[in-house]
Amino acid sequence: MKERQQEYERLIAPIEDRMMRAVWRVMRDPNEVEDAFQEALLTVWKRWDRICIHPNPQALVLQISINAAHDALRRKLRHGRLLETDVIPEDIPDASPSAAQGISDAEQETHVLRAIGLLPKKQARAILMHAVEETPYGDIAAAMDCREATVRKHVARARAKLRSLLSHLIPTVHKEESSHA
Amino acid sequence: MRDQDANDEMDELIRRSTQVEIPADVEDRLRHRLAEFRTRVEQRPPNRWRSLVYSLTYRPPVRVMAMAAAVLVAVAVGLVLIPREANASRVYAAAAEQLRNAQSIEYSIVLNETPYVGIDFSYAAPGYRRLNCSWGIEVRADHTARKQIVLMHMERMYVAESGKQVEGLANSEDLVEQLLSLPPAAGRVLGERQAGGRRLIGYRLPNATLGASFPGLKSFDMWVDAGTRQADHVDIAIAEQGKPVYQMHIRNIRVNGQVDRSLFDLTPPAGYTVITAASAAANASKTTPQQNALVLQAQIRRSDALNVVLLPMTGSYAQTQAALERVAFYLKTIGMNPAGSPLGRFESEQNWDAGYPVPAGTHVEAPFRFETLPPALVAIVVVNGPWGKDSDARWGAFLKSVVEQGYVPVGQPMEKWTGEDGKVQTQSTEMSIAVTKAN
C-alpha cells in the first residue's frame, strides 16, 4: 500500500495539473472532457506497471492524456459535432492579414483544434506534446517509444499539414510558401 | 531561417489556440476523478511479476541501451572471463606437465603448520630421493639400484637397505609419486590469491586420482604461479577414520633446479654405526652414549619482543656463518650496530634465516628484512661449547626436556650465539623454541 502511495506521489502528483490541462486544451467541451480524462486515467491504470518502470514516466502519462483527448476530438469530428456549421475553406483567394483578422479568436481556436483532429494520430500527438506541452523531443520519443528523429519527422509533417489546413490563419507564411512553390 | 520562423509561427498559433484556462467547475470534476484514481492506485496490489515481464520485453531507447550494455557485458564475459577460466586451466596443465616431466624436484613438507615437524625433500630423475626430517631422520634412496640408507643423526646410526622395502619407506613420506603423476586437468579452480606480488591460482585435484595413495584424503589443493606457470605450494587435508583432520603443506617447490648430487650419496657418514633394520626400532628407543652425556634442562618462560634484521636463506645450514657476515656488513653500510648477539631461525633447509637484533624502526632493503619477534611463551636453554657442535643431539635433548615438562613446540627453533669466533671456550648457544602447554 505504502509502495503504491509512493509511486503515485512520484509519478502522478507532480503532473496532475498538466494532465488536466492537456485534456482540456484539446477537448474544450465541459460535457465530454470528463469522459476523455477518465479514459486517460483508465489507460494509466492499465499500464501502471509499465509506467512505473518507464524511463520517462511523466512524459508517458502526459502522452496518454493527450492521446485520450485527441481520440475524443477525432470521435467528435467523425460524428460532425465539431464545427459542423463551419467549414474550413479549401482555399482563400484573399489571404491578406485583413482577411485573417476577420476571424474571431474563438473561431481560430476551433479551426486549429479541428485541423489537429484531422491530423494522423502520431503527428497530432507529436505536435501537441511539442508545441502545447513544450516537451523536449527526447522525452516525446521516450513516451512514443520511437527515435527522436522520428518525432521530429512527425512534428514537421504535422506542421506542413496544419499549414495547408490553416493557411487562411497564417497568410504571411502561406504567401511565402506559395511563392516558393 | 524562414523555415524556422514559419515553424515558430505555426507552433505559436497552436499554442495560442490551446492556452485556455480550465473552468473552475470542470477542474473540480477532474480533480474528483483524480482523487478516485489515486485511491484505486493506492489499493492496487503489487504486481512484481508483470513488472518483471514488462521490463524484459519493453524496448524504449534507454532499455535498448541497457540491453546493449548487457550484451556488451556478456561479450566481455565471453572474451575475458571465459578465456580467463580457460587460461586458468592452461596454467594448471602447464604446471602439472612440468611436474610430470621433472628431472629434479625439491620442496619442504610441513605438517600441521608446526615448523619443526617438517621434511626437506629432494628428487632427481630417474629415481634418487632424499628426505631430511626435522626429527633427525634422513633417508637417501636410489630407486634405480633399489638401495637406500636411513640415517639417525641423533643416535649417529644408520640402516642400509636394499630390495623391495626401499620403495615402501620413501614413498610413504615424500609425496613425489603424487606430484609426478598429477592428472592433466584439475577438478576445479579454487580462485586466485596474491602472495608476495605473485598471482596464484588454486586447483582442487579430484580425489579419485589421488585417493588411492592417500587413505582418508579430504582435499589436495595445488596453487600455481600464474606468471611462471609453476607449482607454488600444495595444501593437503587428510581425515583418517577416528583421527582428527590434519594438514600437510608442500612448500618451496623448485622444479628442475640444480640439485646437489651428494645429497643422494649412500655412503654412511664417518662415525655412524650400522645397525640392522630389524634392530633399528629397538635401538631407536635406546639412548646413545652421547645423549647420556648431554642432558639439557629447558626453562619455560615468557620472552620479550625482539626487533631483528634477518636475511632469508635456503639450502644448507652450513651457510649460517656466511649469512651472518652478510647481515653484519649490510648493517655497517647503513651505519647501524647490532643491538645483540647473532641469531638464526631454522624452519627447514628450504626456509631459514639469520641476522642480528637491531633498534626498533630500522629500515632495511631487500633481501634483508626487518621483523619484530613478538613476546611468546618459549622453552629456552643455554649450552656452553662450540657453536653448532652436535646440534642434532642438543636439539634432541632439548626437545625431550620440553616434552617431559608437559609442553609441545609450536614455533621455529632459534639459536643465539655468544662468544668469540675462534675461541671455543667463550662460545655458547642459546636454544629456544615457542611452546604451548600440552593438552
Q: Is the pLDDT of residue A155 over 50?
A: yes
Residues of chain B with Cβ-Cβ distance to A141 below 8 Å are 61
Q: Is-contact B95 B229, C-beta < 8 A? A: yes
pLDDT at B344: 92
Q: What one-letter code names the amino acid at B49?
A: W
Residues of chain A with Cβ-Cβ distance to B7 below 8 Å are 159
Residues of chain A with Cβ-Cβ distance to B50 below 8 Å are 49
B window 193-222, beta carbon within 8 A of A: none
**Rounded to 5°, angle at Cα A78 from A27 and B14:** 40
**How many CA atoms lie less than 13 Å away from B399 in the CB half-sphere?**
20
Q: Shortest Cα distance from A48 to chain B (angstroms)?
A: 8
Kindly indicate the confidence band of residue B360, based on its pLDDT and cuts at 50, 70 and 90. Answer: confident
| Ranges of CATH 3.20.80.10 domains, chain B | 284-437
Q: Shortest Cα distance from B69 to chain A (angstroms)?
A: 16
- Asked if A88 reaches chain B (Cβ–Cβ under 8 Å), the answer is no
CATH architecture of residue range(s) B97-283 = Clam (2.50)
A19, A34, A41, best to mutate vs chain B, most B CBs in 10 Å:
A41
- Whether the complex's predicted ipTM surpasses the cut of 0.95: no
Q: What letter does residue B386 receive in the DSSP assignment? A: S
Average pLDDT over residues B348-353: 79
B411 Cβ contact list (under 8 Å, min separation 6): B115, B116, B376, B378, B433, B434, B435
Q: Measured between CB atoms, which of A1, A8, A21 is closest to B22? A: A21
Using CA coordinates, name the residue in chain B closest to A1.
Answer: B42
Closest CA to A159 of A138, A131, A178: A131
Average pLDDT over residues B224-251: 81
The DSSP line for A47-92 is THHHHHT-SSHHHHHHHHHHHHHHHHHHHHHHTT-SSSS----S--
What is the SS3 assignment for B9? helix
- Asked if B60 reaches chain A (Cβ–Cβ under 8 Å), the answer is yes
| Ranges of CATH 2.50.20.10 domains, chain B | 97-283
Q: Indicate the pTM of the whole model.
A: 0.37
pLDDT at B172: 44
CATH number, span B284-437: 3.20.80.10
Q: What one-letter code names the amino acid at B47?
A: N
Helix intervals (H) in B109-193: 165-174, 176-180
Q: Is the pLDDT of residue A95 over 50?
A: no
Crossing angle, helix A105-118 and helix B2-18, to 10 degrees?
Answer: 110
Question: What distance in Å separates the CA atoms of residue B15 and residue B209, rounded to the nearest whole number?
Answer: 82
pLDDT at A19: 93
pLDDT at A97: 46
Q: Is the pLDDT of residue B231 over 70?
A: yes
Closest CA to B107 of B179, B183, B189: B179
Helix intervals (H) in B22-60: 24-43, 48-57
pLDDT at B211: 57
CB pair distance less than 8 Å for B10 and A20:
no
Query: What residue segments make up the domains of chain A, in order of their start?
Result: 2-180
- Asked if B66 reaches chain A (Cβ–Cβ under 8 Å), the answer is no
Average pLDDT over residues B154-180: 66
Q: What letter does residue A128 receive in the DSSP assignment? A: I
